[in-house]
Structure 1
Amino acid sequence: MTTRVTGNERRGRQLLLRFSGFLSAALTVMALITATRALAPVVAYIAPQRVRSHFMRRAFASGNCRSRRFSVLRSTVGTETRNENNITTPYHSPLPTSRYVYQSSRTLSSRNPALPLESTLMHSNANELTDVELKNLVAHWRDHPVLNPMVTFRSWVVPIKGKMIQAILNSKSLQPYLASRHELLQEMHVRLKIVRDYTDSTDGTEKLILLHPDTPPLSELPADVQQLLRNCQIHENGPVMPTKFTYKDFTASYILSQLLPIAVHPPPTAFETIGHVAHLNLKERHWPYRFLIGQVLLETLPLIESVINKVGEVSGPYRTYDFGLLAGRNDTRVKLTESGVQLQFDLADVYWCSRLSEERQRLLRTFQPGQIIADPFCGVGALCLLAASLPQRNCTIWANDWNPKAVEYLRENARRNHVSDRIERLQCGDAYDFLMDMGLQQHQKASTRSRKEDVTNKDGNHVTPTEPMRLPDHVVMNYPVEAPKFLGALRWWPVPPSSRRGSTTRDGGIGSVIVPRVHVYTFARADPTTDRDAEEVAVDLVAANLLPLGNTIHCRTEMNEDYDCDIQVHPVRDVAPGKVVLCGDFR
């Protein structure tokens, strides 16, 4: 007899089968989760870095780590430990997986209410950081425990009378025991005051001197040191002085050395300060961490409000460069003061190099009061304004630049420094024409004077009334890329006969002339094929562009012997390995 299955029974069996399948799948997932938690410590040692970090995040987020090592990690997050240097810091993970891992503060606070920070920062100088880790590092580096340590200093009670305190500070035998020798204090930009008031002193005649945390008690010091301390009337140990430091106490180089991975060390330390702007030229290895570097510089340098990084090379007709903002406000209009001269300009419009300030001072020392200074590549006019405004110089300026904005900035800065009357010539044009026109004007004056009638001087002699040739006393050609190419314009200048060897002086009598002194800048490298160093290469480069075409070496020797115009080379600065900027001076 066949049993008949109704529709309701059939539907019930189907539901039961589906429920059994779901239950089996759920049990399988739970088994996998349990196995994952159990295998987390093993994976932490044998798996790749990215897998280990994933297991750690899962273990912390779950809050149910049964691993003994993970239990230690969870129970000590937010607590403090003291290392061998007596520096108190929050606990660090002993596993090699910690690389500034960030977890939600809501998740962690529910699992560990003792956590003092809004995020967990676990430091390790790994070779690389993931994008998420780097983003969190940029956001939370100020809370890093290494940058906010608590250092416990010991102290000595020292009498104030006499010069005991100064004798202790200057004693070579006691120097190793003072707090100033602590390695952490060497990285601070503000010097720690190690002489403190002693509040427990009964009569106020005693002070405290902070000691290195590793300094033992008086009774455990060497015998000679104990005798020296007795001579200084130090008979007791002072109280322990816990001192809290923050990231604001340390230099930018130290902070970056602690934050950046070892793979990108050494951290960038050299940058140019232009008014409120810090100008960096980061290397390729530092590029992924550029925003972190910018934030650190902005936080640790009180006068800096913007941090920029040069992008690409100096190029274009005006020798400007592109830059990217790393931190701070996006404002490149700067104000700066150099030797009392105020300058204002926009870095986006003109070229500027603060490293040339020493070179400008060197040139100023060669200028004499009342001389004429010609600058065919004047830029914003730092050298021109210094020569015109300094009381001991008071020079007359002939200036030119190819960049119209640079010329306008020079005009505004001259008005701002009240030396507009000293800027006799200011034009925007080609430097070659600027130099050549000065020579052509002198030829025209000489031609005009030759047509004048002779007159009789006070002695009854017939002479031709002449005026001195008005050439500049100094010509500054600070354009290392192409300045030597403009020397050909000097061939249009009149050759003063008094400049020849053995002739009369050039600054006396009627018809006396000025022999300009030329300062030309150029890049140079040593040439091993011809066994010439960088200075010899620069001299030959100047001679090749200044003298007519032909046998340059022969012409150079002949001109030196005839006109005594030896070129003196002065090194300015290094710009690349083996590449230097040199200044050649000659008349």
Structure 2
Amino acid sequence: MNILSPPETVREMTILNKEKFTKRVQLPYIMIPSMSIGRIIGSRVVRSCSVPILKRIKPIMNTEHPEMKLLLLNPDNLNEERENELVEAIRTLCNITPDIMSKEFTFTYDDFDIKSSIRAILPQGIEFSGYSQIGHIAHCNLRENLLPYKYTLGQLILDKVNWCKTVVNKLDTISSEFRFFEMELLAGEKNYITTVVEDKIKYKLDFSRVFWNSRLSNEHKRIIEKLDKNSIVYDGFAGVGPFVLPAAKKGVRKVFGNDLNPESVKWMKENLKINKIDEKLVDISNLDCGEFFKTIVKNDLLSYKDLEYQPSNAHIIMNLPALAVTFLPHLKGLLEGEDYKKYNFNIIVHCHLFVKSSVDVPSSWFSEEASRIVKSNIDIPDLKFLELHNVRNVAGRKEMFCASFELPKDYLFSLSNTTKRRSDNKEEEDIKKIKLS
């Protein structure tokens, strides 16, 4: 363990004891004339040999004599060669020949930063899995081997992260009806109503009742970049509005945001007001996604068939990766009986899904499996994708994908297309067999 790290006595601490963090340390230092400090602070050698900035301990410290300063050195970074290099650099910069002396300092709990403190209290070889920021809430997702230390970890985060007022840990259980995770309070206030800012848009939410993942900010932005001023947006699992609000802010033609969770709908409406978005531009509903497709999406699409000025495109967003693919069949025959020639715009689906493996596989397997899962659920074996985007790695063998594709006209306008597609596919396979024989 490094000299500037917490003492070994805190190792495997399941109940936080701040007194055990107290540690006496001999730190080497050099006396520098105050008037020469400006010359040395830009030196690479000086910076690499100095102590890091801690709460009370800093590289440059005052002394009893205003004309002199202490340059505190990091003993973990010093050896004879580095000392000689440092002395020579100061001699050149300040025209003095410095002596390296030492002074005792007492480090306490408050002096150690969050990273070194967490590393010190955990058993050797066990790494902390990190946390996400949701407003004033630090959200942990602790692996099983970290659970004995969860309350110590929670208090460390609360004490040492300036913005943090609440620390929670995600439990394995998830709301059966809605998509928010159950959680336990590890430290701080039991206050889950918070505000998150993403791409200059404010989202107020109750983190204990709705879903929010700060790691999806790039994905939100990626989808929004595909929209233009004449796009229509249908979000079937809208949550508190991370696609709905930026789409409306961008000034698309119309946005429809739907979520089954009434809490999500409540906060989505509140967020429209907070961000001063014209509520006439956004239609919000509280329906099952399948019902949303069959009623609101269908009726809105029907409203364009006789219009001269039609949308440039329509985007259906389905960001519920655990279940979204199971709702794809609800799009089948949505406009059955209608004349497809009256619709001069394409409908593009962005369906998020998880892809996981129980064994190690090549990275290419995940995109192939994502393709298979979507094709199987929508029942279009020859579906062509505009993009199969790997959103992020969720865990070791679990990836999140977004499958983007243009909804085929025959799938949208006819209920009988699947049988035809299967027979066409079979004929293609038979032809291939004949050619190969």
Cα RMSD over matched residues?
3.9
- Answer whether contact 1:278 1:304 (CA < 8 A) is retained: yes
Which residue is equivalent to 1:296?
156
Q: Distance in 1 between matches of 2:343 and 2:171?
A: 52
Which residue is equivalent to 1:513?
344
Q: Distance in 2 between matches of 1:443 and 1:430?
A: 20
Residue ranges of structure 2 left out of the alignment (5+ in a row): 407-437
Query: 1:486 and 2:327 equivalent?
Result: yes
Which residue is equivalent to 1:230?
91
Q: 1:412 to 1:212 in 2, by over 3 A?
A: closer
How far did 1:199 drift?
5.7
Instruction: Please identify the structure whose Cα radius of gyration is greater.
Output: 1
| Counterpart secondary structure, 1:467 | coil
Matches within 5 A, 1:31-430: 85=3, 123=9, 125=11, 137-138=15-16, 141-145=17-21, 147-157=22-32, 160=35, 164-166=39-41, 169-171=43-45, 178-180=49-51, 185=52, 193-196=58-61, 200=65, 204=67, 208-213=70-75, 222=84, 228-232=89-93, 233-237=95-99, 240=102, 242-262=104-124, 265-389=125-249, 392-393=250-251, 396-430=254-288
How far did 1:387 drift?
2.2
How far did 1:211 drift?
2.5
How far did 1:332 drift?
1.6
Q: Distance in 1 between matches of 2:130 and 2:378?
A: 37
Q: Distance in 2 between matches of 1:252 and 1:354?
A: 21
How far did 1:427 drift?
0.9
Letter in 1 for 2:99: N
Which residue is equivalent to 1:71?
none
Letter in 2 for 1:283: R
Q: Distance in 1 between matches of 2:11 and 2:361?
A: 48
Which residue is equivalent to 1:534?
366
Q: 1:397 to 1:199 in 2, by over 3 A?
A: same
- 1:578 pairs with 397, 417, 428, which one? 397
Q: 1:362 to 1:166 in 2, by over 3 A?
A: same
| Counterpart secondary structure, 1:419 | coil
Letter in 1 for 2:245: L
- Answer whether contact 2:195 2:202 (CA < 8 A) is retained: yes
Q: 1:286 to 1:512 in 2, by over 3 A?
A: closer
| Counterpart secondary structure, 2:263 | helix
Q: 1:474 to 1:226 in 2, by over 3 A?
A: same
Superimposed CA distance per residue, residues 206-232 of structure 1 (whole angstroms, 9 cap, x where no aligned partner): 6543333489999x965x766554333
- Answer whether contact 1:442 1:493 (CA < 8 A) is retained: no
Q: 1:445 to 1:123 in 2, by over 3 A?
A: closer
How far did 1:315 drift?
3.7
How far did 1:124 drift?
6.9
- Answer whether contact 2:298 2:334 (CA < 8 A) is retained: yes
Q: Distance in 2 between matches of 1:216 and 1:414?
A: 57
Q: 1:242 to 1:393 in 2, by over 3 A?
A: farther
Residue ranges of structure 1 left out of the alignment (5+ in a row): 1-82, 90-121, 450-465, 499-510, 561-565
TM-score, with length taken from structure 2: 0.77
Q: Distance in 2 between matches of 1:486 and 1:242?
A: 66
- 1:568 pairs with 381, 384, 387, which one? 387
Q: 1:158 to 1:430 in 2, by over 3 A?
A: same
Q: Distance in 1 between matches of 2:6 and 2:11?
A: 20
Q: Distance in 2 between matches of 1:312 and 1:217?
A: 49
Q: 1:238 to 1:408 in 2, by over 3 A?
A: same
Letter in 2 for 1:410: M
How far did 1:379 drift?
0.8
How far did 1:243 drift?
4.1
- Answer whether contact 2:316 2:349 (CA < 8 A) is retained: yes
Which residue is equivalent to 2:293?
435
Superimposed CA distance per residue, residues 19-55 of structure 1 (whole angstroms, 9 cap, x where no aligned partner): xxxxxxxxxxxxxxxxxxxxxxxxxxxxxxxxxxxxx
Q: Distance in 2 between matches of 1:327 and 1:162?
A: 42
How far did 1:144 drift?
1.2
How many residues align? The count is 401
- Answer whether contact 1:150 1:245 (CA < 8 A) is retained: yes
- Answer whether contact 1:87 1:150 (CA < 8 A) is retained: no
Q: Distance in 2 between matches of 1:477 and 1:429?
A: 14
Q: Distance in 2 between matches of 1:214 and 1:275?
A: 36
Q: Distance in 2 between matches of 1:344 and 1:387?
A: 17
Q: Which moved more, 1:392-401 or 1:413-422?
A: 392-401
How far did 1:256 drift?
2.7
- Answer whether contact 1:374 1:472 (CA < 8 A) is retained: no
Which residue is equivalent to 1:34?
none
- Answer whether contact 1:298 1:305 (CA < 8 A) is retained: yes
- Answer whether contact 2:6 2:120 (CA < 8 A) is retained: no
| Counterpart secondary structure, 1:412 | helix
Q: Which one has a larger percent strand, Structure 1 or Structure 2?
A: 2
- Answer whether contact 1:151 1:242 (CA < 8 A) is retained: yes
How far did 1:321 drift?
2.6
| Counterpart secondary structure, 1:382 | coil
Q: Distance in 1 between matches of 2:351 and 2:361?
A: 23
TM-score, with length taken from structure 1: 0.59
How far did 1:270 drift?
0.9
Q: 1:542 to 1:567 in 2, by over 3 A?
A: farther
Q: Distance in 1 between matches of 2:176 and 2:6?
A: 54
| Counterpart secondary structure, 1:381 | coil
Q: Distance in 1 between matches of 2:258 and 2:147?
A: 38
- Answer whether contact 1:539 1:567 (CA < 8 A) is retained: no
Q: Which moved more, 1:370-379 or 1:467-476?
A: 467-476
| Counterpart secondary structure, 2:332 | helix
Aligned-residue sequence identity (percent) comes to 23
| Counterpart secondary structure, 1:282 | coil
- Answer whether contact 2:90 2:98 (CA < 8 A) is retained: no
